[in-house]
Structure 1
Amino acid sequence: MMHGLLIPIHANKLWIASDEIVALRSVRNYTEIIHTNGKKFLFSRTLKIVAQRLAASEQFFRVSRGSFINLSQVSHFCQIDFSLEIHLSNGEVEVVSRRRQMDFLTAFAKVNKAS
């Protein structure tokens, strides 16, 4: 089964497969979808709703209150003092909240073990 999002763009609809999503960010009551080709799309749904649509796919992880990342798009991560920085394939950096750091390491290991 293919996972992804069907988002309205002007008068059309655009299908974005979950493999093509680098990250999702909350922008008030909208969600910014960051595509692997560098484009950013603004979707008129909250991050919570979008995350529920992608929940069947275990490749997404909520790193903080306002961000989800695609675990398969993580190039590397590093521990700096008490924070965990994730470097994504597009060059962006996300910081994992303190309470989610251990869960991230578990989820990342699980996804990389499966692939």
Structure 2
Amino acid sequence: MSVRLGTVVISGAGVVAPLGHTPAEVFDALLAGRSAVAPITRFPTDAFPCKIGAAVTGFKAAQWVSNRKNLKLMSEAVQYGVAAVKRAWIDAGLEGAGINPERIGLFCGAGTAVGRT
């Protein structure tokens, strides 16, 4: 079986990150040398040797997930992913475009850092 490789076009970008909620915000923060690392305030850190982290702030999941039941079932990481995908969709100008969903692909990266060095 042969696989036909076609042209791939990256037409939109979406991001939810500690440095910003749009590609432009993150890019500008990186160019300015800003860091999102700060003291952890979301949970007690008494039991942990590390007291700093880079948290996403100012994120409102309800802006991106209209179904409240689905919102309650989603982890925070999934909420970020949904928002990033919707932002990429809008950034690509595809909202209301009537595009066949089978013609669209998505690459999504996410992660957390846990461990010791």
TM-score range, shorter-chain basis?
under 0.3
TM, length-normalised to structure 2: 0.25
Whichever structure has more helix as a proportion of its residues is 2
Q: Highest CA radius of gyration, 1 or 2?
A: 2
Q: What is the TM-score of this pair, normalised by structure 1?
A: 0.25
Structure with the bigger RCO (C-alpha within 8 Å, sep 6+) is 2
- Structure with bigger strand share is 1
